[in-house]
C-alpha cells in the first residue's frame, strides 16, 4: 500500500484497487489470490477503503475525506450497498405497480392481492385470539369484557381499563364467530 501511495496509480473504484492488489500479491507469492477475498474480509476491506479514500481515488490525491465524521468504513459500505439494494427493489416495485395499473389488473385484483398478502398473518391472529381467550378464562374472576367492549380489571372500581375497545374489537369479532359471548 505504501508503494501505491507514492506511485501515480489511481483507481476509479475500490474494487479495481482490490483487483490490482490481488494480482500483484499473486505474482509475488506465486499463489492465487482473488480480489473478493480482500473485499469480503472486514479488516482488509477497512484498509482498502481507507487507502482508496485518502490517496488512491482518481483525482483525489491529498484530498481530505468528504465527511469530517468518519465512521467504520465497512459499516458505511454495507449501508451503501443496502441502500442501493433498497433503491433497486423500490424501482422494481414501482414498475410492477405501474404495470398492474396500466393493465387494469390492480383495481380488479386489489382485494385478492391484499387477502393473499395477509394470509401468513391469519394463523398468528387466530393463535393470539386463542391465547387471549385462555388468559381471560384463567383470570375470569379478575378480568372481564365490559358493556363498552373494553377489557377491564374486575377487582378495581376506578381506573380498571386494561385494553381499549378498538384493540379488543378484532378479538371480540373472532370470539363471536366461534359462538362465544
Domain ranges of the chain: 2-66, 119-177
98-113 pLDDT, tens per residue?
777 776 655 555 555 5
29-41 pLDDT, tens per residue?
888 888 888 888 8
Structure-block grid coordinates of residue 168: 379488543
Question: Are the beta carbons of 160 and 154 closer than 8 angstroms?
Answer: yes
CA 8/CA 135 separation, integer angstroms: 73
141-169 pLDDT, tens per residue?
888 888 888 888 888 878 788 888 888 88
What DSSP string describes 45-108?
A: HHHHHHHIIIIIBTT-TTPPPS-SS---HHHHHHHHHHHHHHHHHHHHHHHHHHHHHHHTHHHH
Amino acid at each position: 500500500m505504501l508503494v501505491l501511495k507514492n506511485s501515480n496509480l489511481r483507481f476509479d473504484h475500490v474494487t479495481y484497487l482490490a483487483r490490482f492488489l490481488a494480482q500483484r500479491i499473486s505474482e509475488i507469492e506465486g499463489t492465487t489470490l482473488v480480489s473478493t477475498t480482500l473485499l469480503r474480509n472486514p479488516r482488509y476491506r477497512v484498509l482498502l477503503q481507507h487507502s482508496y479514500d485518502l490517496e488512491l481515488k482518481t483525482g483525489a490525491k491529498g484530498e481530505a475525506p468528504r465527511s469530517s465524521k468518519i465512521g467504520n468504513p465497512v459499516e458505511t459500505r454495507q449501508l451503501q450497498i443496502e441502500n442501493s439494494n433498497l433503491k433497486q427493489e423500490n424501482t422494481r416495485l414501482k414498475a410492477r405497480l405501474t404495470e398492474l395499473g396500466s393493465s387494469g389488473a390492480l383495481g380488479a385484483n386489489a382485494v385478492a392481492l391484499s387477502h393473499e398478502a395477509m394470509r401468513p398473518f391469519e394463523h398468528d391472529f387466530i393463535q393470539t385470539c386463542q391465547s387471549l381467550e385462555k388468559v381471560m378464562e384463567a383470570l375470569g374472576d379478575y378480568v372481564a369484557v365490559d358493556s363498552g367492549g373494553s377489557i377491564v380489571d374486575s377487582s378495581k372500581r376506578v381506573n380498571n381499563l386494561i385494553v381499549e375497545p378498538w384493540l379488543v374489537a378484532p378479538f371480540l369479532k373472532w370470539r363471536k364467530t366461534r359462538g362465544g359471548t
